Structure 1
Amino acid sequence: MAFLPGQQVRTRITITAGHTRLPDYARGRIGTIHRHRGSYPLPDELVAHGHTNPEALYSAYFEASDLWGEGSGHHRVYLDLYESYLQPVEGEMQ
Structure 2
Amino acid sequence: MVMGSIKVDKSRQRKIWFNSMVAAYTGWEDARNDPVKAVTFGDGKPLPADIIYDCLSILDEESVAIPWQKGDVLLLDNWAVLHSRRPFNPPRRVLASLCK
How would you bin the TM-score normalised by the shorter chain? under 0.3
Highest RCO, 1 vs 2 (Cα 8 Å, sep ≥ 6): 1
Higher strand share: 1
Normalized per residue, which structure has more helix? 2
TM-score by length of structure 1 reads: 0.20
